[in-house]
Amino acid sequence: MYRPEIKVLDCSIRDGGLINKWQFSDELVKATYRADCEAGIDYMEIGYKASKSLFDPEKYGKWRFCDEEDIKKALGDLDSTKTKLACMVDIGRVEEQDILSAKDSVFGMIRVATYIRDTDKAIALANMIMDKGYEASINLMAVSTNLEREIDEALRELAKCRVPYVYVVDSYGSMYQEDVSSLMKKYTAALPGKTIGIHTHNNRQMAFSNTIQAIIDGSNILDASILGIGRGPGNCNLELLLTFLKNPKYNVRPILKVIEDHYLPLNKEIEWGYIIPYMITGVLNEHPRIAIEFRESAEKDHYTKFYDKLTTPEPLEKEI
């Protein structure tokens, strides 16, 4: 599967922060960055840009906000010739003043996460980001819940814009390879000249195979995370992906070392990976928030109760 144009983005800190409200130590984030640089990873997504008027800094860690000075202090000397830093923004959760000009920023890419209903807002935000000198992507979330007509309409709008990267996102981890292949072909046909990305979740143990399928169908920017860290079941495992890609610029050894030193100990403190309630939400194409709430309850391992709760119809009210 060697294609020199393929790029890899490590979303460990950004997606992993959904588990612990981005309360990662500077030591872990710095070790992740160094490992990515040594491994030849193209981008490291370090968190979000978000307004502090909406999110309490006492509750959320610094990677929820990605202040430039915080990143410089945590990471030390940055070498963007090796691994570029990226962050994500959500529609309505960031203000223009939160985003510096790229020449004054540590970031090279800012990714816009959006639901299809807000595609027009995502394009406007991405245009502002590009006007400030950044690379930009638009990540269409939860497309497994959209009608084909809705996807087609969004792609027609995206085809007119200048954003170079558009992502297929399996937000609920519900897709099979056939679903990924169908969407990849749809995006590619509708968006000539754009690079199609893939971001998968591992609810059904399909994140790696679905990423492979996207590569086969032409995806050239691939998201993955170290030891699969991410909300709930996590993402495509970076270490698996690197061993699949036949590109000599990638080196898996630094990733194995940072897993050994930092991510295995972290996995004893916070939970991610293949977990039955997340499998169930993936099967049912449901948002994982239901499983998150259940895993925080005293009945977290009562899998049949969770399954019955989600699959048993509500009883009909007796007619009076």
Q: Report all structural domains of the chain as residue ranges with CATH numbers, in order of start.
A: 7-267 (3.20.20.70), 276-311 (no CATH)
- In the numeric block, which tokens belong to residue 98? 């939160």
**The predicted structure's pLDDT at residue 317:** 61
Give bridge partners of residue 219 from the DSSP assignment. none
Share of the chain above pLDDT 90, in %: 91
Sign of CA dihedral 87, 75, 39, 12: negative
Give the whole-angstrom CA distance, residue 117 versus residue 11.
Answer: 24
**The predicted structure's pLDDT at residue 318:** 55
**The predicted structure's pLDDT at residue 158:** 98
Dump pLDDT digits (tens) for 60-98. 999 999 999 999 999 987 776 789 999 999 999 999 999
Please give the model's pTM, rounded to 2 decimal places.
0.94
**The predicted structure's pLDDT at residue 81:** 73
Sign of CA dihedral 61, 64, 65, 71: positive
Q: Who has greater pLDDT, 227 or 319?
A: 227
Closest of 31, 30, 32, 27 to residue 12, by C-alpha: 32
Dump pLDDT digits (tens) for 263-298. 999 999 999 999 999 999 999 999 999 999 999 999
**Per-residue confidence band for 121, with pLDDT thresholds at 50, 70 and 90:** very high
**Torsion angle defined by CA atoms of residues 51, 55, 56 and 58, in that order, rounded to the nearest 10 degrees:** -90
Checking phi first, is residue 28 left (phi over 0); if not, alpha (psi -120 to 50) or beta?
alpha
Dump pLDDT digits (tens) for 140-199. 999 999 999 999 999 999 999 999 999 999 999 999 999 999 999 999 999 999 999 999
Contact 106, 133 (CB under 8 A): no
